[in-house]
């Protein structure tokens, strides 16, 4: 099989490019979209990432080009039109699980950075400013942490936070035993009412889009910390900005942002930032944003490459595992 790897970075070439088997991975810098899809001509499969546009028009174009497999090198697939893929007989596979510790630890890193103002201390000390005014933090121990989405990453995160001595609450329409051993399942409103920290670990679905909005923020504790390492559109960003202005939201840690496509994963330092919402977010001292790097560990990249290669091999041999495929 010939696989066109879209949106590829040097680290993708290092991991996937190390493959020395019978299939061929060809790396393309552009993201997959309606303009770049023509590059898939002559390929049997495309390999895509979180911000590639694999919507209806692109899937139709891939089908016309004879592409048979969309191999996502990530867990999420909210950017793929699964109905269109099914209708055109294209298989969609993904990496359902790659070191949940990688993402869960990043969520903890955002919490620990925010609560002790490490990002501000870093800047101050570089300016020879050793004053402490404004850097006061709070203990994580004894706080209530609400986990929305208690799947593989959510329960790994819950386990880490329980190690700090936190009380753990979880909300998930599909409950599991792993989380139940660590925390208490509650209704969403109770979680919002009682949590000092709310961390999002559910997928982006119609039901979860803007799960953090003006209404749900109103139900949260004053000064709540919100952490999102899942998908940007889980959060209604203008609503959070309003709540940051009043102090209702005390801390915000984001690894993902609703309009990150075309911005994240790239060096835009020579360009003018035209996204006024993001620009406003960047003005708050109590907001920390990372550019979708929660997945970015040595261990996770290796697992992502190994599973993607195994998916391509299995598809070619018609033995692709159901757990690695996504369908409607």
Element at 4 (helix H, strand E): strand 2-5
Which is closer to ligand NAD, CB of 230 or CB of 324?
230
The residues that touch ligand NAD, with contacts defined as CB under 6 A, are: 75-76, 103, 148-154, 171-174, 201-203, 205, 207-208, 229-231, 255-256, 292, 294-295
What is the distance between the alpha carbons of residues 126 and 7, in angstroms, rounded to a whole number?
35
SS (H, E, C) 189-225: HHHHHHCCEEEECCCCCCCCCCCECHHHHHCCCCCEE
Question: Do the beta carbons of residue 90 and residue 291 sit within 8 Å?
Answer: no
Annotated active-site residue in 73, 94, 231, 258: 231
What are the helix (H) ranges across 116-222? 118-126, 152-163, 177-180, 188-194, 214-218
Which is closer to ligand NAD, CB of 149 or CB of 183?
149
Hey, is 253 helix, strand or coil? strand
Reply yes or no on whether 260 is catalytic. Answer: yes
Please, what is the minimum distance in Å from the beta carbon of residue 218 to ligand NAD?
A: 18
Annotated active-site residue in 260, 271, 317, 319: 260
Which is closer to ligand NAD, CB of 139 or CB of 187?
187
Instruction: Quote the Cα angle for 280-286-291, to 5°.
Output: 65
Please, what is the minimum distance in Å from the beta carbon of residue 22 to ligand NAD?
A: 29
Which is closer to ligand NAD, CB of 44 or CB of 76?
76
Which is closer to ligand NAD, CB of 132 or CB of 207?
207
What is the distance between the alpha carbons of residues 141 and 205, in angstroms, rounded to a whole number?
32
- Kind of pairing, strands 69-72 and 144-148? unpaired
Please, what is the minimum distance in Å from the beta carbon of residue 74 to ligand NAD?
A: 6
> In this structure, what token pair is assigned to residue 144?
């209530």
Question: Do the beta carbons of residue 6 and residue 32 sit within 8 Å?
Answer: yes
Which is closer to ligand NAD, CB of 157 or CB of 315?
157
Please, what is the minimum distance in Å from the beta carbon of residue 154 to ligand NAD?
A: 5
Nearest C-alpha neighbor of 60 from the set 35, 38, 42, 85: 85
Nearest C-alpha neighbor of 3 from the set 12, 11, 89: 12
Hey, is 317 helix, strand or coil? coil
Reply yes or no on whether 231 is catalytic. Answer: yes
Please, what is the minimum distance in Å from the beta carbon of residue 317 to ligand NAD?
A: 26
What is the distance between the alpha carbons of residues 301 and 325, in angstroms, rounded to a whole number?
19
Among all chains, which residue has been given the structure tokens 């939201």? 249
Please, what is the minimum distance in Å from the beta carbon of residue 264 to ligand NAD?
A: 10
What residues are annotated to the active site? 231, 260
């Amino acid at each position: 099989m010939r696989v066109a790897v879209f949106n590829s970075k040097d680290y993708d070439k290092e991991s996937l490019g190390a493959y020395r088997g019978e299939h061929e991975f060809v790396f393309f810098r552009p993201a997959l979209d309606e303009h770049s899809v023509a590059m898939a001509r002559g390929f049997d499969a495309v390999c895509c990432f979180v911000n590639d546009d694999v919507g209806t028009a692109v899937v139709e174009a891939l089908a016309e080009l004879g592409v048979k497999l969309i191999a996502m090198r990530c867990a999420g697939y909210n950017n793929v039109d699964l109905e269109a893929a099914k209708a055109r007989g294209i298989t969609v596979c993904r990496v359902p699980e790659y070191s949940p510790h990688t993402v869960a630890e990043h969520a903890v890193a955002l919490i620990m950075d925010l609560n002790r103002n490490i990002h501000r201390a870093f800047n101050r000390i570089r300016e020879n400013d050793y004053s402490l005014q404004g850097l006061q933090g709070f203990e994580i121990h004894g706080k209530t942490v609400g986990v929305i989405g208690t799947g593989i990453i959510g329960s790994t995160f819950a386990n880490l936070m329980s190690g700090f001595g936190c009380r753990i609450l979880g909300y998930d329409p599909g409950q599991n035993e792993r989380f139940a051993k660590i925390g208490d399942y509650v209704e969403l409103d109770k979680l919002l009412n009682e949590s000092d920290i709310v961390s999002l670990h559910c997928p982006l679905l119609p039901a979860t889009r803007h799960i953090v909005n003006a209404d749900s923020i109103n139900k949260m504790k004053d000064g709540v910390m919100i952490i999102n390492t899942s998908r940007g559109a889980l959060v209604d960003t203008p609503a959070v900005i309003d709540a940051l202005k009043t102090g209702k939201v005390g801390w915000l840690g984001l690894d993902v942002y609703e309009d990150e496509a075309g911005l994240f994963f790239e060096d835009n330092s020579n360009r003018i930032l035209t996204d006024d919402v993001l620009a406003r977010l960047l003005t708050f001292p109590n907001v920390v944003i990372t550019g979708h790097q929660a997945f970015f560990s040595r261990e996770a990249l290796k697992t992502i490459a190994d599973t993607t290669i195994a998916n391509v091999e299995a598809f070619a041999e018609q033995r692709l595992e159901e757990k690695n495929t996504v369908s409607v």
